[in-house]
Amino acid sequence: ATAADDGDLAIACDGATLSVPPVLGAGGNRMALLYDVASTDPKAEHITIATGSKTGWALAGVIGLHGHAAEWAAQLHGTVPQHFVPDGPLSPAGALQVRLAKISGVNS
């Protein structure tokens, strides 16, 4: 058993409520946890997703997509499409905000 198997993964969401449990997708040595957004906070300007693991998980990324978790799980079939993000502007119809922050006292 690994730390990941023992539940060493924390996911926090600010600005929305995620449906649980997630839809699981697996392929090779990767696993995707696909969550539907159950509701959003009308006062929130954006949704923030934070993840953490002490020893068991290596995060590959967090992405927001239109549609439902079950639909994406069926479409992905345990693989990642070659052009998951199309070539071209990342956000042709709006703003994209990416923020990386180091938390004081946490080893990186």
Structure tokens at 13: 């969401």
pTM for this one? 0.68
CA distance 81 to 60: 15
Higher pLDDT, 87 or 54: 54
Count other C-beta atoms under 10 Å from residue 52's C-beta.
13
Q: pLDDT tens, 57-78? A: 777 778 888 889 999 888 887 6
pLDDT tens figures, 7-20 = 788 899 999 999 99
Rounded Cα–Cα distance for residues 86 and 43 (Å): 31
Residue 39 lies in a domain: yes
Which of 33-42, 46-55, 70-79, 94-103 shows the lowest per-residue confidence on average (mean pLDDT)? 94-103
Whether residue 37 is contained in a domain is answered as yes
In a domain, 42, yes or no: yes
pLDDT of residue 20: 92
Tally the domains of the chain: 1
C-alpha 11/C-alpha 55 separation (Å) is 15
Residue span of the structural domain in which 64 resides? 10-76
22 part of a folded domain:
yes
In a domain, 5, yes or no: no
In a domain, 20, yes or no: yes
| Residue 29 belongs to some domain of the structure | yes
- The single residue listed with the structure tokens 């934070």 is 50
Whether residue 34 is contained in a domain is answered as yes
